Structure formats: C-alpha cells, structure tokens
Amino acid sequence: MKKMWSATGAVVVALAVGLAGPGPVQAAPTTAPAAPVAPASLATSAASSTGVSTLARRTQFAREVVRYGQADRGPYRIAHVRELQYRLRWVGAFRAGVTGRFLDLTRAAVKRYQRREGLLQTGVANRVTWAHLLRDTIRHRSSIPSVCRRLGWHACYDRSMHQVVLLHNGNFVNTWLVRGGAASMPTRRGTHRVYYRNKDHVSSLYGSPMPYSQFFDGGQALHGSRLMTDPFYGHSHGCVNMYVEDARQLWNLTYNKRLIVTVYGRWA
C-alpha cells in the first residue's frame, strides 16, 4: 500500500556548509532569479520521473536521478550514491557497506524499497523514489527545536546526525547530509539569521572556494565543499559543509528569502 504524508508534521530544518569561515565582507552577492518553489506531488508516476530538470531540483525533496553504474568519484563528481546507500540502510533496505558505487546490491535495495512503498520497481532512484526516501529518513524528528517549526524559512542543522533540514512555514521542503566543524573548531549552537550571501565566495583564511555561501554566525556559513565526498568522514573549520550541488539547491530555494539557521545537537 502506498504511503502518504500530510503537508504538516514535525518540523525539521537544516543547513549544510563547507570549510572555514570568510574574511571581512567585501561585496554583495550577485544572483540570478530563481524559479518559485513548487512542492512535488508524491502521486506523480515513477515513469515520468526518470529524469530531473534544473527546475525539478528546486522542488520539494528533489535529488538527481541515480542509476546502476554511477559512482561518487570525488568532490567534483558527486552522484549522490553514498547518500542513497546511507538512507537505504536507515530504512532497512540496504545491509551492505557504503561504497559510493551503484552496483547490484544497491539496485536490489532500491527495488526492495520501491516495492515496500508501492512504487514501480525500476531499480533506479528516480524523482518519486527520492521524495519517499528523503521523507522517511529525516532522523531524530522529535529533537528538532521548536524554533524550527515557526513561520518562515528555517534551516536546522543537527550536529549529531550530520543532517540539515529545510522547512517553510512548518512544512518540510528538503533535507541534506552534511558535516560540521571539528572538535577544536565546532559549528556553534544557536539560532541566527543569514546576514550575508555570496555564491562565489573564497575563504580569506584558507584560500578555499566556498560556493553558494550563506553566512549566519560570524565566519560560519552553509556552503558547498570541494573537499567532502563522505559527510560522515572528516570535519570543516566550523562551517556546515554540503555537496556543491546541494548547496546550490539550498541557494536556489532561499537566496532571496529571510533564512533562519538553527544549529543544535551534540558534536559528532
């Protein structure tokens, strides 16, 4: 039987960012207009979701289509295979190790999950499959702070779960896997408003690119990381590291919005 969700529910908001914080603010960001957010319907047929357009990746719970033979081959070549494997493990459909390579065991796990959800069993992680899986794998929902459930746009980062969840007016919009600061330079807990954005930022301290940066607390920001391949391996210098594509997705959804960022949870 096909699982359905209500439009409301526990609110989770999250952020993802990359390396160390920026230097002094030097220039205002240059942005291009983003398409309006259009929540995706889970009733859409799987057959019509075998491709993901630029617009679709700005819609609710969207990811690129992932299929047999693809792999996460490095920070510049992320296919979201590791994320797929992690999330399939969390729903009990995948029991092998996370490798970042989409081979037989991963395809079988996708089919197993699709069968459970009443979806067409293609073995391809298409648009509808991702919509179900992302909703199912928002972790520790009961721990999401109440501030994240308020009106407006909220990105909430759970340090213990390596998870950022984006909500709008209490409704889930998307969730991403991220990594935060090391024990010596942790991402600071608290609630702040994004005060500066720069899609082409470069750290003045480390000389590292920080694409799609959204700064919320001093030098700490949500941004794309060109060093991260596995969000559960390594740490940043305090920022919230995201895959570059995910940081772009968050940017397209919120660059012209008043975004509130909440960081919570124990360090991990």
What are the boundaries of each domain within the chain? 46-136, 141-264
Walk across the sheet containing 190-193 and list its strands: 171-177, 163-168, 153-158, 259-264, 190-193
Predicted local confidence at residue 36, as pLDDT:
35
Q: CA 237, CA 224: separation in Å to the nearest integer?
A: 13
Predicted local confidence at residue 58, as pLDDT:
55
Q: Radius of gyration of the chain from Cα atoms? A: 17
Predicted local confidence at residue 214, as pLDDT:
98
Q: At what angle do helices 81-90 and 127-136 cross, to 10 degrees?
A: 50
Q: CA 167, CA 49: separation in Å to the nearest integer?
A: 23
Q: CA 238, CA 253: separation in Å to the nearest integer?
A: 23
Predicted local confidence at residue 203, as pLDDT:
84
- The per-residue pLDDT string of the chain (268 residues; one tens digit each, 9 = 90 and over) reads 434 443 333 333 333 333 333 333 333 333 333 333 333 333 333 333 333 344 345 578 999 999 999 999 998 899 999 999 999 999 999 999 999 999 999 999 999 999 999 999 999 999 999 999 999 999 999 999 999 999 999 999 999 999 999 999 999 999 999 999 999 999 999 999 999 999 999 988 877 899 999 999 999 999 999 899 999 999 999 999 999 999 999 999 999 999 999 999 999 9
Q: CA 93, CA 114: separation in Å to the nearest integer?
A: 10
Predicted local confidence at residue 42, as pLDDT:
37
Is 161 in contact with 175 (CB distance < 8 Å)?
Answer: no
Predicted local confidence at residue 257, as pLDDT:
97
Q: What CATH number labels 46-136?
A: 1.10.101.10
**What topology is assigned to 141-264 in CATH?**
L,D-transpeptidase catalytic domain-like (2.40.440)
Predicted local confidence at residue 46, as pLDDT:
34
